C-alpha cells in the first residue's frame, strides 16, 4: 500500500542564490553557499528526488513511477506521460535579480531540444521591501521593436514589473517574458523541464568575469507577443474549502485554508496530488499512520489514496496541485 511521500531536497547553487532556504525552510545545504533553488519534487534526469520517509526511503521518484505506474500518478496521468513524472516543485531564493528569460512551449521545445516546454506558477512565500517580479511587457510589443530594444540594451524599459509581498500568485505560461527580482523567496510549480532562454542579464559578469550567454535568436520565436501583459492572481479568501488558482493543460492548483480538522477527500481526482504548506503546520493522518508538514514542505499523495485527515495547528494555508484528466 502506497502512502504520502516526502523527498530529500536537491540543492542548486546559483550566481544569484542566497541563504534563506537553509535558514527558514529547514533545507540543510551543508557547506554549499548561494543556494538559489531546492528541487523538492523532481523527476528530471540527473536530479531525481529520493524518498526520505517510510519503507520506500532511498528510492527515487522515477523508480517509483516505473514500478507503481497509475497507482502512484493516476491512470490517466500515466497514460499521458508514461514513466516521466510531469511536474517539478522548487523553492527559490533570489538574493540578486535573476536574468530576464522566456521558456518555449511544447512544440518549440520538442522540435529543437526533444524536451517538454515549460509553463509554471509562482507563490511568493516571502519578499523584502521593494521586491518585484517581472511578468510580461508594460506595453504592446512586436518582434521588430523587441529586437531593436535588445540591440540598444534598453529591454528593461518595457518590462512589466510587479511589486510583490507574501502571498502573491502569478501564472507564467510558456512564451511569457519573466524574471524574479532580488529579495524574493517563492514556491514554483512547473512542467518537468529545465529549458530556459536567457534574453537579458543586467550586464552581469559570471564567476570568470565574462558576460553570461544570451539566447536572443532562440528566444525571438518563443516569446508570445500577442499576450504581452500578465497580472497577478487574486484568489478568494475562503476557509475550509477549495479555491481554484490555476487550471491549465499541465496542472490544476488550488488554495486550501484549514483551521479545524477535516477529511481531505481525494477520490474524485485521478491523479497524484502535491500538497505544500504555504503557512503553518499540519498533521496528516492516514490508516494507522501520519505525516507532518510545516511551511515550505511538500508531500506527494499517491493517486490510489482516496482520503486522509488534515489536523491543523491553528490556521494552515495549503497549495494543492494535480494533473487534470483530459
| DSSP-assigned beta bridge partners for residue 13 | 35
Give Cα separations from 247 to 74, 190, 202, 256, 292 (angstroms): 18, 13, 33, 15, 27
| DSSP-assigned beta bridge partners for residue 92 | 37, 186
Tell me if residue 23 is catalytic. no
**What DSSP state is assigned to residue 324?**
P
| DSSP-assigned beta bridge partners for residue 308 | 264
Question: Could you tell me which residues come within 8 angstroms of residue 215 by beta carbon, excluding any fewer than 6 positions away?
Answer: 197, 198, 199
End-to-end CA separation in angstroms for the chain = 27
Which one of the listed residues 26, 80, 154, 198 is annotated catalytic? 198
Question: Could you tell me which residues come within 8 angstroms of residue 83 by beta carbon, excluding any fewer than 6 positions away?
Answer: 62, 65, 66
CB 321 within 8 A of CB 274: yes
Cell of 130: 521593494
User: Which residues have a catalytic role annotated?
Assistant: 198
Amino acid at each position: 500500500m502506497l502512502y504520502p511521500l516526502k523527498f530529500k531536497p536537491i540543492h542548486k547553487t546559483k550566481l544569484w542564490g542566497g541563504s534563506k532556504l537553509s535558514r527558514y525552510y529547514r533545507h540543510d545545504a551543508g557547506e554549499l553557499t548561494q543556494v538559489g533553488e531546492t528541487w523538492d519534487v523532481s523527476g528530471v534526469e540527473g536530479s531525481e528526488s529520493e524518498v526520505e520517509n517510510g519503507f520506500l526511503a532511498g528510492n527515487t521518484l522515477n523508480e517509483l513511477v516505473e514500478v507503481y505506474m497509475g497507482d502512484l500518478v493516476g491512470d490517466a496521468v500515466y497514460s499521458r506521460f508514461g514513466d516521466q513524472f510531469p511536474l517539478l516543485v522548487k523553492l527559490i531564493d533570489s538574493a540578486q535579480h535573476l536574468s530576464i528569460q522566456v521558456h518555449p512551449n511544447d512544440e518549440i521545445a520538442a522540435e529543437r531540444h526533444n524536451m517538454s516546454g515549460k509553463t509554471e506558477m509562482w507563490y511568493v512565500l516571502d519578499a523584502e521591501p521593494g521586491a518585484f517580479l517581472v511578468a510580461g511587457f508594460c506595453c504592446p510589443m512586436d518582434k521588430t521593436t523587441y529586437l531593436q530594444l535588445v540591440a540598444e540594451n534598453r529591454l528593461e524599459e518595457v518590462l512589466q514589473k510587479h511589486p510583490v509581498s507574501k502571498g502573491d500568485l502569478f501564472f507564467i505560461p510558456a512564451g511569457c517574458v519573466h524574471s524574479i527580482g532580488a529579495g524574493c523567496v517563492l514556491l514554483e510549480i512547473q512542467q518537468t523541464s529545465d529549458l530556459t532562454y536567457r534574453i537579458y542579464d543586467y550586464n552581469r559578469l559570471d564567476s570568470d568575469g565574462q558576460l553570461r550567454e544570451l539566447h536572443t535568436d532562440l528566444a525571438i520565436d518563443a516569446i508570445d507577443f500577442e499576450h504581452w501583459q500578465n497580472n497577478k492572481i487574486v484568489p478568494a479568501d475562503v476557509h475550509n474549502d477549495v479555491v481554484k488558482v490555476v487550471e491549465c493543460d499541465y496542472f490544476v492548483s488550488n488554495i486550501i485554508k484549514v483551521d479545524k480538522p477535516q477529511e481531505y477527500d481525494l477520490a474524485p481526482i485521478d491523479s497524484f496530488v502535491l500538497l505544500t504548506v504555504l503557512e503553518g503546520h499540519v498533521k496528516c493522518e492516514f490508516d494507522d499512520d501520519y505525516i507532518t508538514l510545516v511551511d515550505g514542505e511538500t508531500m506527494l499523495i499517491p493517486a490510489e489514496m482516496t482520503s486522509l485527515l488534515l489536523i491543523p495547528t491553528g490556521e494552515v494555508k495549503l497549495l494543492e496541485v494535480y494533473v487534470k484528466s483530459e
